[in-house]
Amino acid sequence: MAESLSDLQLLLEQSSRDLLASEARFRNIIERTVDGVLIVDRQGLVRFVNPAAQSLFGRPAAEMLGGMLGFPVVAGETTELDIVRTSAGAVVAEVRVVETEWEGETAYLASLRDVTEREQAFKELARRASEMELLHRVSKAAMVRLDHESMLRLVLNEIIQSGFACGGGAYLCEPGLETGTAIDRMELRAGLPPGYSSPPTEASQYLQLAASPLAAAAVRDRHAVAGPGADAPASQPEALIQEPAVEQVAAVPLLAGESIVGLLSLTRKERRPFTPEDLRLLDLVGTEVGVAVHNLQLYDGLQQANRELRQVQEMMFQEERLRALGQMASGIAHDINNALSPILGFAELLLHEGEWEPKTKRHLEMIATSARDIAVVVDRLREFYRGRDKQDPLRPVDLVRVAADAVELTRPRWRDMPQEQGLVIQVRDELPEELPPVLGVEAELRQALANLLLNAVDAMPQGGELTVRGYAQEPWVVLEVTDTGTGMTDEVRRRCLEPFFTSKGERGTGMGLSVVFGVINRHEGEIDIRTALGHGTTFVLRLPAAKNGFLEEECQPIRVRPARLLCVDDEPLLREFLQDALTQFGHTVTVADGGQAGMAAFAAGQFDAVITDLGMPEVDGRTVALGVKARSPETPVILLTGWGTRLRVEGDIPEGVDLVLAKPATSRQLQMALAEVLTAKTGAAK
């Protein structure tokens, strides 16, 4: 029995020694492990602290043993613990807790592993992912093909929605300026929140770099810079400047290659400064947005170039139409002018032959006037914007009489036709008794005024009042045509003088006002349009007053000695008119039916001058002129033709012709032509 107890005692002593050795080995392992280890009893008191745990907490064991742990301990859980140390900075520890025994009692073993670097790596990855996400969203917003303001507002919205900033504004340089000058004045183009740029005042609309050291530094260094809210640009909107919560401001240059196209201004309300990593991200944002702005500017430039190209193409198309119209007019001009010549000629002869009743005389005058105007219209169809031909006859024109004639010629349109529809258009004549004369072509000016009157009538579909007034305004003579009609929009006012532009639909040709512009332009005048939609229109024509020298020259009578004349034409009425008109001036006139008869007549007689048509069967006017010069080189030849204006303008004067006269020609024009060629002949003979 004693031996059994002795053996049992020895066994217990051996077990105790083994247990103490095991605890020693356990302590040794815990002491040497790189992880921090804490033993905490059931009351939460620290019973053991290894050196690694002391290092993690930054406290010696003497301070920690017997004290409370300071964080909950739950067996089987794994948590992360932020440990703030007074000297070595904060660390993050992963804590795992298991139940154990300590000194014979139930306790908890807490294992703490320093995961600070891992957490920092995770945070860095998260930050980079956030940056990439923001950059992706900004790039996507910048790629949207919108106007500058919408694109910039979208970019700012993405930046704010990401939480990177709470507000901001986008400023753009004036396009086309060099960087050194463009940055001196940047215009606010977008802002968020809405109060940032709504409404921008003149003081807040522009970012003056001289008043903004932060923005100036960003542009100078070509990198994003940041500072406290006090350094914000002084010219930012008052709603932002006066808000005290704005703590941080960043200025980001928008770069496109070597050029600065604008600036982003971003703000933060909290005391969270822009870090170097933030500024590097903003540099990338600035480059993305800058390239997008530059691309939009290039796109806008391309669109503008395309618009200008289309305008040029339209102008070329219009020129082709005008050229085709001129060719068509040239093709029929000869026949029309041949038909007009006897009408105008005999009307003038009747006016000169005797005394007529005032009404009859007025009718004859209107016939002659209308014939001259028709000739001018036919001639002008192909040359709306040609320069004035140096040989076009410029005479002093009485604008009071011209305006009165235009009113009389358009009477059916402003009185008779409206009255048939129960409408009334009243015409008010506010012309003075006389105005200084202007130098020009009377028929063209009369046609221009008639077109303005007809345009005014068309603008008053419900009737109204039409006023014609005139006055002198040195150095101009001014005519105004005012209607109380529908008026014009700004777009119509800008384009109404273009050829073939019309706002009248199928009723309009688009030629009336373009003819007016062409006439006034050729007379070196000005045209002004005053209009408002629904409030009528006033056309103001300014023409230079004629000088006294021209007036004296016009008043001088035409002196031509009686001459022996040969007139060659295949139209009987024209031959009769030429014989009657020239005979009344004392000339001896022989007429010939066509070129062949004319050549025979010239060979059989003696003549001081020859007047011949151009287009005749078998023998034309060119052949007649050459035949005359072959027999008598000193005999002048006048070519009287419906193509006269075209020949003069194009310089296509046939050989042997001394002077070209366009049909229909008045008696005075015939006398002037004869005076010119016969005087030249006399001078050559001397």
Per-residue model confidence as pLDDT tens digits over 539-568 = 999 999 887 644 444 445 677 888 899 999
- Could you read off the pLDDT of 217-250 as tens digits, one per residue? 888 888 888 888 654 444 443 333 334 456 788 8
The type of residue at 148 is H
The listed CATH number (3.40.50.720, 3.30.565.10, 3.10.520.10, 1.10.1270.20) that belongs to domain 386-546: 3.30.565.10
Decide whether 19-114 matches 127-302 in CATH topology. yes
- Could you read off the pLDDT of 276-302 as tens digits, one per residue? 888 888 888 888 888 888 888 888 888
Q: How far apart are CA 380 and CA 371, in angstroms?
A: 14
Highest mean pLDDT of the ranges 41-50, 192-201, 320-329: 41-50
pLDDT in the model for residue 108? 87
The type of residue at 341 is S
> Region 631-657: what's the mean pLDDT?
83
pLDDT in the model for residue 550? 47
First to last CA, the chain: 183
Q: What is the mean pLDDT of the chain?
A: 77
| Cβ contact 523:530 at 8 Å | no
Please provide the DSSP assignment of 617-628 as one string.
Answer: SSS-HHHHHHHH
With 90 as the cut, is the pLDDT of residue 482 above it? yes
Burial class of residue 134 (count of CB atoms within 10 Å of its CB; 0-12, 13-18, 19+): buried
- Could you read off the pLDDT of 165-193 as tens digits, one per residue? 888 888 887 654 444 444 444 555 555 55
- Per DSSP bridges, beta strands 609-612 and 588-593 are unpaired
* For the chain, percent of residues with pLDDT exceeding 90: 12
pLDDT in the model for residue 506? 55
With 90 as the cut, is the pLDDT of residue 467 above it? yes
| Cβ contact 452:414 at 8 Å | no
Q: How far apart are CA 326 and CA 649, in angstroms?
A: 13
Q: pLDDT tier at 86 (50, 70, 90 boundaries)?
A: low
Please tell me the number of Cα atoms within 13 Å of 364 on its side-chain side: 17
Whose structure tokens read 């320093």? 114
DSSP three-state, residue 676: helix
Cα 678–chain centre separation: 58
Q: pLDDT tier at 203 (50, 70, 90 boundaries)?
A: very low
> Region 39-43: what's the mean pLDDT?
86
pLDDT in the model for residue 197? 40
pLDDT in the model for residue 60? 86
| Cβ contact 671:585 at 8 Å | yes
Q: How far apart are CA 518 and CA 387, in angstroms?
A: 9
CATH domain 557-685 topology? Rossmann fold (3.40.50)
| Cβ contact 42:111 at 8 Å | no
pLDDT in the model for residue 229? 66
Q: How far apart are CA 147 and CA 482, in angstroms?
A: 41
Q: Where are the domains of the chain?
A: 19-114, 127-302, 386-546, 557-685
Q: pLDDT tier at 133 (50, 70, 90 boundaries)?
A: confident
CATH domain 127-302 topology? Beta-Lactamase (3.30.450)
- Measured CA distances, 141 to 157, 159, 587 (Å): 9, 10, 89
Is 424 or 228 the better-scoring residue by pLDDT?
424
| Cβ contact 225:217 at 8 Å | yes
pLDDT in the model for residue 623? 92
Is domain 19-114 in CATH 3.30.450.20, yes or no?
yes
Burial class of residue 171 (count of CB atoms within 10 Å of its CB; 0-12, 13-18, 19+): buried
Alpha helix segments (H runs only) across 547-664: 548-555, 572-583, 595-604, 621-631, 644-650
Residues 6+ away with beta carbon under 8 Å from 651: none
